[in-house]
């Protein structure tokens, strides 16, 4: 069943919450044996299901629906380790706000899902819980950091889930696994009780977000979460309920699109995903125009990376002291453990080895800021770029922008550090604090694989991308849908139209 179908039969009493829970628990155990997405079960789920089945009237929106949850959300009495050993044995004092809201709305959180160590990787493995595999190809990564969530949804072992996103951590796994998710504007959803190792950096902030098998599931979660209890538990969240009028509006829109941000071209399947989406939206009567986003490669490599590593990696190094380092984190941990002159040399060396000045700048930016004055100047540059991007958007009178979620499809494990540039498509909208969603629109075709023979081979990034795309036929391909701040409902409306076009 879809999430909406399941909601209907639970509301009507045709199915019992306990029977639904047992079905999903069984499926989760079966799929986890193959894919390893579970960090731990939530034993309270049985008690919650029993209580739902005694309720005959006034059923809440998510009555009896099982929900999987990313491991970084607090559950009272349980750890939220984010794959880091130093955080074992620190049970949460209470449930995260979003977990409390889900329970109040009748949902049954039933399993917690895996993340990469520190959550600062596009892979999904850590020394505590191991490696999560992609349901479409077990040699490939499901993405990160919400990789466990994407994998459990794609396997059919969950129907609704909660992820989080600071650099594409919802959208990239959705793209790799063929599921749907939304990164809201920071501040639309509470982050109280959501662990992040980068919270002291307060310019680009991670946010929670809904994930599901389809757009209706994401919409259902947003409707359920944006309730009075949410705003009461976290008064920093503006009390904006789900805007039904925006979501159901039928006015024609002006939509921008781009297939490349000017640094690393997407592979043919990812480019085609944007172009077929563009044509589908035009057939629905929207005006679709080409959009040239300003200076994304320079901004991500110089500003975003410097923000995320403002302390030079010292906070991460402290959390990781004496820990086993996961393979996906080895390059980062080696870099941040070196003195600054050595790191500057490594950046130059990487630029030479990769034949890529941008890669050198990425590594150089990870040195961070050396003074408060430098941090203030960086913050000023952030504000200037946000104005520049907004001006470019408004000059073309755009409502929405569509673009790739990532530069290529799910790669085999162990390659993302050599293909980092492919990830620049998603962090842009964390940096700008724009809501952005991802949904699957196609899969890699034989002609997409054949067209890779014409893919550029100028840098080591490009050469590695060509290699990891081998054998990718049939893998899912998503598209990213972006709106202005606080326009989550408009983003979801367009996502729904894209989904309807795909199935019509």
Please report the pLDDT score of residue 504 as a whole number: 55
Same domain, 341 and 361: yes
Residue 304 and residue 264 share a domain: no
- Name the helix (H) or strand (E) containing 208: strand 207-212
Residues 41 and 58 in one domain: yes
- The DSSP output letter for 399 is S
CATH of the domain at 37: 3.90.1300.10
| Nearest residue to 312 via CA among 376, 377, 364 | 364
CA proximity to 170, closest of 400, 452, 430, 454: 430
- Give the residue numbers annotated as catalytic, written as ranges: 70, 145, 169
Q: Which two tokens stand for residue 318?
A: 């402290």
What's the domain range around 373?
A: 296-389
Give how many domains the chain has, as a whole number: 3
Q: Do 411 and 355 belong to one domain?
A: no
pLDDT of residue 503: 63
| Regions of the chain short of the pLDDT cut 50 | none
- Residues 439, 341: one domain? no
Same domain, 379 and 437: no
Q: Are residues 315 and 207 in the same domain?
A: no
Give the helix ranges, DSSP H, for 266-321. 268-283, 296-298, 305-308, 314-319
Which of 389, 418, 446 is where one domain is finished?
389
Same domain membership, residue 262 and residue 238: no
Helix %, strand %, coil % of the chain (to 5) = 45, 15, 40
At 89, give phi and psi (nearest 5°): 80, 25
Among candidates 166, 184, 200, 188, which has minimal Cα distance to 236? 188
Q: 354, 374, 389 — which closes off a domain?
A: 389
- pLDDT value for 460: 81
d(CA 488, CA 207): 13
* 54 shares its domain with 145: yes
pLDDT at residue 407, rounded to an integer: 95
């Amino acid at each position: 069943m879809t999430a909406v179908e399941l909601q209907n039969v639970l509301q009507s009493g045709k199915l019992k919450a306990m029977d639904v829970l047992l079905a999903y628990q069984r499926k989760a155990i079966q799929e986890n044996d193959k894919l390893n997405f579970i960090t731990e079960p939530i034993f309270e789920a049985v008690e919650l299901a029993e209580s739902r089945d005694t309720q005959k009237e006034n059923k809440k929106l998510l009555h009896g629906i099982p929900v999987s949850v990313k491991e970084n959300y607090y559950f009272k009495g349980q750890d939220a380790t984010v794959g880091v050993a130093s955080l074992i044995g620190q049970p949460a004092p209470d449930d995260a706000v979003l977990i409390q809201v889900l329970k109040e709305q009748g949902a049954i959180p039933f399993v917690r899902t895996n993340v990469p160590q520190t959550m600062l990787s596009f892979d999904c493995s850590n020394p505590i819980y191991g490696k999560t595999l992609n349901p479409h190809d077990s040699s490939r990564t499901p993405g990160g950091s919400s990789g466990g969530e994407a994998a459990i949804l794609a396997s059919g072992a969950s129907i609704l889930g909660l992820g989080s996103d600071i650099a594409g951590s919802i959208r990239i796994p959705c793209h790799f696994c063929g599921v749907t998710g939304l990164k809201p504007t920071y501040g639309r959803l509470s982050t109280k009780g959501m662990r992040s190792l980068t919270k002291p950096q307060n310019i680009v902030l991670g946010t929670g977000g809904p994930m599901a098998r389809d757009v209706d599931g994401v919409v259902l979660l947003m409707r359920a979460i944006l309730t009075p209890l949410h705003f009461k538990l976290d008064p920093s969240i503006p009390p904006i309920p789900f805007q039904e009028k925006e979501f159901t509006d039928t006015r024609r829109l002006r939509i921008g699109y781009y297939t490349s941000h000017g640094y690393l071209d997407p592979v043919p399947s990812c480019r085609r995903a944007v172009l077929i989406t563009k044509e589908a939206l035009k057939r629905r009567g929207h005006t679709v125009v080409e959009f040239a986003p300003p200076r994304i490669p320079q901004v991500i490599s110089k500003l975003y990376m410097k923000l995320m590593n403002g302390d030079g990696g010292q906070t991460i190094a402290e959390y990781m002291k004496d820990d086993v380092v996961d393979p996906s984190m080895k390059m980062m941990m080696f870099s941040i453990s070196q003195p600054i002159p050595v790191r500057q040399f490594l950046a130059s060396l990487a630029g030479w080895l990769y034949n890529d000045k941008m890669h050198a700048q990425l590594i150089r930016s990870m040195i961070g800021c050396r003074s408060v004055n430098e941090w203030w100047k960086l913050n000023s540059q952030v504000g200037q770029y946000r104005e520049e991007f907004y001006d470019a958007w408004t000059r073309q009178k755009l409502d929405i922008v569509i673009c790739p979620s990532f530069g290529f499809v799910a790669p085999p494990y162990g390659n993302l550090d050599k293909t980092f540039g492919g990830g620049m498509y998603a962090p842009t909208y964390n940096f700008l604090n724009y809501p952005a969603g991802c949904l699957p629109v196609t899969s890699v075709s034989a002609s997409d694989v054949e067209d890779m023979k014409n893919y550029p081979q100028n840098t080591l990034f490009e050469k590695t991308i060509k290699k990891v795309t081998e054998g990718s036929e049939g893998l899912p391909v998503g598209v990213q849908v972006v709106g202005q701040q606080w326009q989550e409902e408009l983003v979801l409306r367009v996502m729904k139209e894209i989904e309807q076009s795909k199935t019509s």
